[in-house]
């Protein structure tokens, strides 16, 4: 099995169009510059031969070498300080914002330029540059040519990359650029990699040091437009910044994660592509954005959902879409890639878009209900038809089995969480009826709502176990049952919910405070752990909820990033990163600790 950096070793860069991962060793091992779900040009994250761009002291990671790193406050501009026996040097990395961009303009017209600024802090440090572009997930090895006036251009297939470093005499090798140089205290050296399309506009030209300052200012101005007055403000602000970094600015869609195929278990095959936007996450995302006082992002995300769904017919609404509303996200395997830590397959696309998942309309309509006052006393035609169409679809299909919240790829079942969100659809539609025009039928919808509730309480409760279980008739506990009080299906103080919360915590909890999704789940799932925090608050156990929250947030890496899961044996991060739902869970749990009766 190959040795490579831990998932938690990576920092996240974003221009709200694309994102990159930079390791503690100074290597950019993931960048899909066209957009989040585009092809990588640096993909060493998934295979040693799939490209990278490293700038670090010679012998990085050796004896006497120590790394400190941090984001500049309220930005995704990452500063890494390397301490070596010869001295200290800082490398500051960012994906450039458009010149003059401020606040909500961030990322709409980003130039697709990766900036790296090297600054000598003390002594004299010998540095190494290693530029190995491999477009199309490592399938292409580009031709490299030196440019008049300095710099190296790499061309292959649809991609053009230009590496520039004004103060370095870069030379093109056969398939890479390598160069060693020294940096003394007080010396500043800027470099950048600009992406362009072979048959499109040429790569942008920026002055790296100036562009870094402007990008920092753009992030700072963006954050100044938002406010949060609850508990754990630094954690919430940082998680909000991460969500902003996962937002595709052109449409407002939030990518579930930056990466594809990082495994839920090392060596396992549950390796999925999360670079798309899930409707299931919609209500939780909307809630987090409102908590963090981001109304513009919330309204843009809502507009994206309405456009992506389109007219509703008989077919189930897909659980996920591409970042500009693409529906067909058919999955294929990159068989040439070894996968992270030899975890195969590497997937591009996600076939969950084909599944029937009955919870999806409930997430969307719950978000509409949350935004109802913002959306007006009477909804416009498209919004009205969307709500009506989703409601009628649920009214006619709620009794069917589906794939459930965790998108199982085996047999359809009657999942508890799906039925509860069908109830949410009907309940919120009844409450919205006066805004839906003459086609609204709240009396019939209320009858369906009440029938769903009766079935859930009868079939979802397992008397022998003393808890709501994951699926009707199943003896298996599932942490998704914690969503019932969050969705206002039952109060957390209901005796059945108290019993369920206690059983889930006892049987699925761990010494670290993390929750597994089910008994055979090999890792702790961060979102479920934050749900438990909320449930404990709602049962009146505020102090224990706070203690659990602080234990769970301790699983972030050194720059405050969460992946999807945590290995229960080693404490290592697992799954795609950074994971939007983990940061959403943090924001919502922090607000629940602030306002126990919120939502």
Q: What is the pLDDT of residues 40-93, one digit of tens each?
A: 999 999 999 999 999 999 999 899 999 999 999 999 999 999 999 999 999 999
For residue 266, tell me if it sits in a domain: no
CA distances, 407 to each of 22, 356, 440 (Å): 30, 9, 31
What's the total number of domains in the chain? Answer: 1
Question: How large is the C-alpha radius of gyration of the chain?
Answer: 25
Mean pLDDT, range 117-123, rounded to an integer? 98
Q: Please list, in sequence order, all residues whose beta carbon lies within 8 angstroms of the beta carbon of residue 97, skipping any fewer than 6 positions away.
A: 15, 106, 107, 110, 214, 215, 218, 219
Res. 104 pLDDT band, cuts 50 70 90? low
In angstroms, rounded to a whole number, what is the distance separating the alpha carbons of residues 501 and 170? 61
The token duo for 143 is 């031709």
Query: CATH code at 16?
Result: 2.70.98.40
For residue 459, tell me if it sits in a domain: no
pLDDT digits 0-9 by tens, 381-400: 888 999 999 999 999 999 99
For residue 523, tell me if it sits in a domain: no
The residue segments making up the domain with residue 21 are 7-224
What is the dihedral angle through the alpha carbons of 387, 388, 392, 393, rounded to the nearest 10 degrees? -40
Q: Please name every residue paired with 462 in a beta bridge, in sequence order, or none if there are none.
A: 467
| 192 vs 315, more confident | 192
Q: What pLDDT is attached to residue 599?
A: 59
pLDDT at 26 over 50: yes
The token duo for 499 is 């019993």
Q: What pLDDT is attached to residue 551?
A: 97
For residue 187, tell me if it sits in a domain: yes
Lookup result for tokens 């889930």 = 504
Tell me the whole-structure pTM to 2 decimals.
0.96
Q: What pLDDT is attached to residue 50?
A: 98
For residue 568, give the nearest of 530, 525, 537, 598 by alpha carbon: 525
For residue 139, tell me if it sits in a domain: yes
Q: Please list, in sequence order, all residues whose beta carbon lies within 8 angstroms of the beta carbon of residue 459, skipping any fewer than 6 positions away.
A: 414, 472, 473
Residue 581: CB atoms within 10 Å: 24
In angstroms, rounded to a whole number, what is the distance separating the alpha carbons of residues 556 and 563? 8
For residue 202, tell me if it sits in a domain: yes
What does DSSP assign to residue 262? -
For residue 126, tell me if it sits in a domain: yes
Angle, to 10 degrees, between the axis of helix 416-432 and the axis of helix 360-370? 40
What does DSSP assign to residue 435? G
Lookup result for tokens 């140089």 = 181
Res. 1 pLDDT band, cuts 50 70 90? very low
For residue 193, give the nearest of 22, 47, 24, 334 by alpha carbon: 22
Residue 157: CB atoms within 10 Å: 12
How far is residue 393 CA from its own chain's centroid? 29
Q: What pLDDT is attached to residue 2?
A: 41
pLDDT digits 0-9 by tens, 412-453: 999 999 999 999 999 999 999 999 999 999 999 999 999 999
For residue 514, tell me if it sits in a domain: no
Output the average pLDDT for the chain. 94
Q: Is the peptide bond before 269 cis (omega within 30 degrees of 0)?
A: no
């Amino acid at each position: 099995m190959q040795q490579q950096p831990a998932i938690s070793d990576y920092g996240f860069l974003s221009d709200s169009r694309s994102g990159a991962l930079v390791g503690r060793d100074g290597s950019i091992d993931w960048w899909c510059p066209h957009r989040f779900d585009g092809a990588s040009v640096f993909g060493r994250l998934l295979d040693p031969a799939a490209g990278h761009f490293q700038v670090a002291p010679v012998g990085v990671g050796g004896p006497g070498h120590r790394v400190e790193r941090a984001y500049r406050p309220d930005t995704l501009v990452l500063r890494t300080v390397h301490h070596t026996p010869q001295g200290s040097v800082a490398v500051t990395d960012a994906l450039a914002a458009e010149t003059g961009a401020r606040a909500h303009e961030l990322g709409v017209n980003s130039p697709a330029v990766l900036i790296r600024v090297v600054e000598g802090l003390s002594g004299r440090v010998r540095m190494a540059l290693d530029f190995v572009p491999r477009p199309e997930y490592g399938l292409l090895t580009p031709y490299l040519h030196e440019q008049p006036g300095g710099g190296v251009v790499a061309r292959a297939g649809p991609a053009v990359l230009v590496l520039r470093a004004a103060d370095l005499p870069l030379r093109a090798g056969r398939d890479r650029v390598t160069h060693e140089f020294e940096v003394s205290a007080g010396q500043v050296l800027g470099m950048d990699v600009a992406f362009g399309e072979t048959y499109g506009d040429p790569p942008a030209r920026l002055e790296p040091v100036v562009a870094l300052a402007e990008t920092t200012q753009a992030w700072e101005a963006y954050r100044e437009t938002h406010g949060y007055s609850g508990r754990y403000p630094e954690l919430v602000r940082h998680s909000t910044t991460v969500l902003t970094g996962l937002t595709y600015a052109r449409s407002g869609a939030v990518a579930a994660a930056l990466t594809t195929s990082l495994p839920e278990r090392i060596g396992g095959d549950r390796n999925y592509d999360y670079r798309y936007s899930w409707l299931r996450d919609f209500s939780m995302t909307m809630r987090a954005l409102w908590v963090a006082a981001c109304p513009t992002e919330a309204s843009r995300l809502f507009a994206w959902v309405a456009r992506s769904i389109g007219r509703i017919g008989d077919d189930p609404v897909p659980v996920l879409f591409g970042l500009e509303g693409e529906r067909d996200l058919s999955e294929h395997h990159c068989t040439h890639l070894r996968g992270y830590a030899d975890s195969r397959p590497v997937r591009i696309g996600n076939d969950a878009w084909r599944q029937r998942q009955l919870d999806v309309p409930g997430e969307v309509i719950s978000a509409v209900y949350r935004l109802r006052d913002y959306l007006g006393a009477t909804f416009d035609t498209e919004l009205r038809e969307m709500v009506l169409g989703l409601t009628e679809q649920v009214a006619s299909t709620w009794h069917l089995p589906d794939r459930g919240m965790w998108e199982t790829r085996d047999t359809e079942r009657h999942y508890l969480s799906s039925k509860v969100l069908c109830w949410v659809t009907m309940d919120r539609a009844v409450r919205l009826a006066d805004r839906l025009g003459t086609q609204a039928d709240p009396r019939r919808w209320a009858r369906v709502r009440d029938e769903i509730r009766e079935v859930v309480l009868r079939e979802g409760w397992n008397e022998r176990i003393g808890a709501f279980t994951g699926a009707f008739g199943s003896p298996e506990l599932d942490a998704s049952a914690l969503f019932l009080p969050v969705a206002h299906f039952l109060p957390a103080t209901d005796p059945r919910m108290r019993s369920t919360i206690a059983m889930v915590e006892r049987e699925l909890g761990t010494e670290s405070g993390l929750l597994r999704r089910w008994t055979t789940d090999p890792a702790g799932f961060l979102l479920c752990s934050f749900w438990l925090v909320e449930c404990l608050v709602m049962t009146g156990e505020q102090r224990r909820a706070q203690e659990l929250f602080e234990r769970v947030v301790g699983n972030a890496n050194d720059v405050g990033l969460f992946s999807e899961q945590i290995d229960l044996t080693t404490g290592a991060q697992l799954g795609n990163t950074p994971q939007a739902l983990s940061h959403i869970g943090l924001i919502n749990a922090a607000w629940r600790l602030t306002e126990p009766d919120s939502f």
